[in-house]
A and B are shown apart, each in its own frame.
Chain A
């Protein structure tokens, strides 16, 4: 990779020199340098409240006059039916699981994220590659292989990680909708009890997410607080990034 130019470095508010660039080998036929859009990823485990926060953030950004698009895990038109089918058929193993998710992500990257960045949109990503890295890491897939696989991903300008503890998470998930087979890691066959499995699997996932915090410059948000507090925190940081103080804000 060529050395990042200084302007881009100061724009990368997450302290990383690579914001808005490919993490690794990239996609040679799609150069993305200098695209005006901004990529903001909201990460966090299942049931932590990502969608609620993204919806609120989107409304707020649109009122401020930004063009916003949302993209979310397994939402690609190409792959969603295949992934649902494969999940239901019991033939998936950890490798094909990882590769199907990567294909879904590649499709959204090429068809949604990159065109939107080119057109100057703010892209809000409900989960990003970190969810894939965490899930696969917990399942024992080689971590350096995973990182080179996702070398075609773009480093977001900001990554918010909604952090929660397992106990609070269990309460929330049970109140909202109950525990689901995959979110409980039942495919790992640690036992028949969904509660125990959820607790141990989500515990491992949370540790996996935290272990990536420094590597990928997560902005950690305490997700145990009420919705409004979390949203306020997000808006403050997003505003500081999109509208630096030396420029008059729209407010």
Chain B
């Protein structure tokens, strides 16, 4: 619960200082992760899913949400190839499911991915197959984004008034 609430506090702070002001100014805000991350991660830790949705009801609903989807093995391979040390909480080691960081990561993030699939359906996230090449993914991203913003900046719809 404290893990979840601390992240919500951090999110609220960023929402009010970094997200809402530029939206009011008519700018485009790119958010690397959003409330959906919390829904997936905290639910996997056993926090009530309905409570989480009510908690985050102060968040602005994005105009477009992209979900980059990869199978757990691809995710692990990529991290291992970069020889990164798996982070304690990212690997879900706090849950005590396994003392082996890689095994724990597979178990924890596997469940997080299942949760993401449910969320993608519930909130209509655009799913992007993140196993494809970067160029392929970027082309898809651009075409999806183009539907929401004009190519000419002057055509961008102002969303500030409703924020």
Mask: chain B, 36-56; 1 = CB below 8 Å from A; 0 = not: 000000000111101100110
Q: Tell whether A100 pairs with B51 under 8 Å between CB atoms, given A107-B2, A110-B2.
A: no
Contact of A28 (CB < 8 Å), options: B17, B46, B54, B58: B46
Q: Tell whether A152 pairs with B51 under 8 Å between CB atoms, given A27-B1, A107-B2, A110-B2.
A: yes
Q: How long is the Cα–Cα vector from A228 to B5 in the complex, in angstroms?
A: 40
Q: How long is the Cα–Cα vector from A95 to B59 in the complex, in angstroms?
A: 11
Q: How long is the Cα–Cα vector from A107 to B45 in the complex, in angstroms?
A: 16
Closest chain B residue to A102 by CB distance?
B5
Q: Tell whether A145 pairs with B13 under 8 Å between CB atoms, given A99-B5, A106-B5.
A: no
Is the beta-carbon distance between B58 and A95 smaller than 8 angstroms? yes
Give the A-B contact count at a CB cut-off of 8 A: 59
**Is chain A's interface secondary structure helix, strand, loop, or mixed overall?**
helix
CB of A103 closer than 8 Å to a CB of B: yes
CB of A26 closer than 8 Å to a CB of B: yes
Is the beta-carbon distance between A100 and B9 smaller than 8 angstroms? yes
Query: How far in angstroms is the closest Cβ of chain A from B1?
Result: 4
Q: Tell whether A25 pairs with B48 under 8 Å between CB atoms, given A99-B5, A103-B2, A110-B2.
A: yes
Q: Which residues of A contact B48 (CB under 8 A)?
A: 25-28, 151-152
Q: How long is the Cα–Cα vector from A27 to B12 in the complex, in angstroms?
A: 22
Of A99, A100, A102, which is in contact with the most chain B CB atoms at under 10 Å from its CB? A99
Q: How long is the Cα–Cα vector from A151 to B51 in the complex, in angstroms?
A: 8
Using A26-B48, A106-B5 as known contacts, list a sample of 14 further A-B pairs with CB atoms less than 8 Å apart, ordered by residue number in A: A27-B46, A28-B46, A28-B47, A29-B45, A29-B47, A91-B13, A96-B9, A96-B12, A99-B9, A102-B5, A103-B6, A145-B54, A151-B51, A152-B51
Is the beta-carbon distance between A96 and B16 smaller than 8 angstroms? yes
Q: How long is the Cα–Cα vector from A29 to B45 in the complex, in angstroms?
A: 9
Report the interface size class on chain B.
20 to 34
CB of B8 closer than 8 Å to a CB of A: yes
Q: How long is the Cα–Cα vector from A178 to B54 in the complex, in angstroms?
A: 39
* 24 pairs, CB–CB < 8 Å, chain A vs chain B: A24-B51, A26-B48, A27-B48, A29-B45, A29-B46, A93-B16, A95-B12, A95-B16, A96-B9, A96-B13, A96-B16, A99-B8, A100-B9, A102-B5, A103-B9, A106-B1, A106-B5, A110-B2, A145-B54, A149-B55, A151-B48, A151-B51, A152-B1, A152-B51
Q: Which residues of A contact B5 (CB under 8 A)?
A: 99, 102-103, 106
Query: How far in angstroms is the closest Cβ of chain A from B51?
Result: 4
Q: Which residues of A contact B2 (CB under 8 A)?
A: 78-79, 103, 106-107, 110
Q: Which residues of B contact A25 (CB under 8 A)?
A: 48, 50-51
Residues of A147-193 at the interface with B, using a CB-CB cut-off of 8 Å, are 148-149, 151-152
Contact of A148 (CB < 8 Å), options: B1, B6, B16, B54: B54
Closest chain A residue to B11 by CB distance?
A99
Mask: chain A, 55-72; 1 = CB below 8 Å from B; 0 = not: 000000000000000000
